[in-house]
Structure 1
Amino acid sequence: MNRARGSTTAVLLAFLFMACGPSTSATEPEGPGGAGSGAGGPGSVASSSTSTGGSTGSGGTDASGSTGSGGAGGEPTGDGGAGGSSTGGGPPVVEPTLITSGPDEYWKTGTPTEVTSGNADVTVDDATTHQRWDGFGGTFNEVGWNVLSMLGEAERARALELLFDKHEGAAFVYGRIPIGASDYAMDRYTLAETPNDTAMASFSIDRDKERLIPYIKAALAVRPGLHLWASPWTPPTWMKSNGAFDGGRMKDDASTLQAYALYLAKFVEAYAGEGITIEAVHPQNEPNYETRYPSCIWTGPLMAKFIGTYLGPTFADRGLTAQIYLGTMSNNESGKDGAIISAVTGDATAMGYVKGFGLQWNMMSSASGLRSRNLPIVQTEHKCGNYPWNPAGSPPFDAQKAPNDHAYAEESWGLIRDWIKAGVTSYSAWNMVLDTAGKNLDSERPWPQNALLTVDTAAKTLNVTPVYHVFRHVSEYVDPGAMRVAATGGDALAFKNPDGSIVTILYNSGNAAKMTVLDVAGKKLQFSIPAHGWATVNWT
Structure 2
Amino acid sequence: MRTPAFGAALALTVASLTGPAQAHPPTTQVDVWVTTPDRAELLHERAPVSFHRGASERTTITVDPRTTYQTMDGFGASITDSSASVLYRLSPADREQTLRKLFDPRAGIGVSFLRQPVGSSDFTAAAEHYTYDDVPAGQTDFGLKRFSIAHDEQQVLPLLRRAKQLNPALKVMATPWSPPAWMKTGDSLVGGRLKDDPKVYDAYARYLVKFVQAYTRAGVPVDFLSIQNEPQNRKPSAYPGTDLPVRQEAAVITALGPLLQKASPRTKILGYDHNWTTHPGDIASTPPGEDPETDYPYKLLQTSAAKWIAGTAYHCYSGDPSKQTDLHNAFPSKGIWFTECSGSHGPNDTPPQIFRGTLTWHARTLMLGTTRNWAKSVVNWNIALDSTGGPHLGGCDTCTGLVTLQPDGSVSTDAEYYTIGHLSKFVKPGAVRIGSTSYGTTGWNGQLMSAAFRNPDGTTALLVHNENDEPRSFAVAVGDRSFEYELPGGSIATYTWGRTSADVPRELPLESATASVNGADAGMLVDADGSTVWQSKAPQAPGQWVQVDLVKAQTFRQVALDSGGNIGDHAHGQSVAVSNDGSSWRTVAGGTSNSQLTTIDLPPTRARYVRITQTGTAGNWWSLTDVRLYR
Q: Same fold (TM over 0.5)?
A: yes
Give the Å deviation of 1:351: 1.8
- Segments of 5+ residues of structure 2 without an aligned counterpart are 1-28, 284-290, 440-447, 499-631
Indicate yes or no: 2:255 matched with 1:301.
Answer: no
C-alpha distance after superposition, 1:309-344 (max 9, x if no partner): x22243346565423221313351359464432332
Take 2:68 and 2:262, find their aligned partners in 1: how far apart are those partners? 40
1:406 corresponds to which of 344, 356, 363: 356
Take 2:478 and 2:328, find their aligned partners in 1: how far apart are those partners? 31
Give the Å deviation of 1:304: 1.3
Take 1:434 and 1:401, find their aligned partners in 2: how far apart are those partners? 15
C-alpha distance after superposition, 1:76-112 (max 9, x if no partner): xxxxxxxxxxxxxxxxxxx970111112222221222
Take 1:337 and 1:211, find their aligned partners in 2: how far apart are those partners? 38
Give runs of aligned pairs for residues 329-408 of structure 1, distance below 5 A. 329-330=274-275, 332-333=278-279, 334=283, 336=292, 338-348=294-304, 350-361=305-316, 362=318, 364=321, 365-371=323-329, 372-386=331-345, 396-397=346-347, 404-408=354-358
Take 1:319 and 1:486, find their aligned partners in 2: how far apart are those partners? 35
Structure 2 CA distance for partners of 1:147 and 1:383, relative to 1, 3 Å: closer
Take 2:98 and 2:481, find their aligned partners in 1: how far apart are those partners? 37
Take 2:244 and 2:266, find their aligned partners in 1: how far apart are those partners? 25
What's 1:64 paired with? Answer: none
The structure with the larger Rg is 2
2:449 corresponds to which of 491, 500, 513: 491
Structure 2 CA distance for partners of 1:274 and 1:402, relative to 1, 3 Å: farther
Take 2:344 and 2:173, find their aligned partners in 1: how far apart are those partners? 24
Structure 2 CA distance for partners of 1:114 and 1:275, relative to 1, 3 Å: closer
Q: Which moved more, 1:515-524 or 1:429-438?
A: 515-524
1:97 corresponds to which of 24, 28, 31: 31
Structure 2 CA distance for partners of 1:328 and 1:446, relative to 1, 3 Å: closer
SS at the partner of 1:380? strand
Aligned residues, how many? 433
TM-score by length of 2: 0.64
What's 1:168 paired with? Answer: 107
1:399 and 1:448 in contact (8 A); partners too: no
TM-score by length of 1: 0.75
Give runs of aligned pairs for residues 382-531 of structure 1, distance below 5 A. 382-386=341-345, 396-397=346-347, 404-416=354-366, 417-439=368-390, 441=392, 443=394, 446-456=396-406, 458-488=407-437, 489=439, 490-531=448-489
Take 2:30 and 2:103, find their aligned partners in 1: how far apart are those partners? 19
Take 1:107 and 1:147, find their aligned partners in 2: how far apart are those partners? 24
2:55 and 2:481 in contact (8 A); partners too: no
SS at the partner of 1:517? strand
Indicate yes or no: 2:212 matched with 1:268.
Answer: yes
Indicate yes or no: 2:62 matched with 1:123.
Answer: yes
- Which residue identity is paired with 2:356? H
- Which residue identity is paired with 2:33? I
2:474 and 2:486 in contact (8 A); partners too: yes
Take 1:211 and 1:189, find their aligned partners in 2: how far apart are those partners? 15
Structure 2 CA distance for partners of 1:337 and 1:170, relative to 1, 3 Å: farther
Structure 2 CA distance for partners of 1:397 and 1:166, relative to 1, 3 Å: same
Take 1:402 and 1:236, find their aligned partners in 2: how far apart are those partners? 42
Give the Å deviation of 1:223: 1.3
- Segments of 5+ residues of structure 1 without an aligned counterpart are 1-94, 387-395
Take 2:350 and 2:421, find their aligned partners in 1: how far apart are those partners? 28
> Percent same amino acid among aligned pairs?
25
What's 1:230 paired with? Answer: 174
2:30 and 2:49 in contact (8 A); partners too: no
Take 1:408 and 1:520, find their aligned partners in 2: how far apart are those partners? 31
What's 1:240 paired with? Answer: 184
- Which residue identity is paired with 2:242? C
Give the Å deviation of 1:263: 1.1
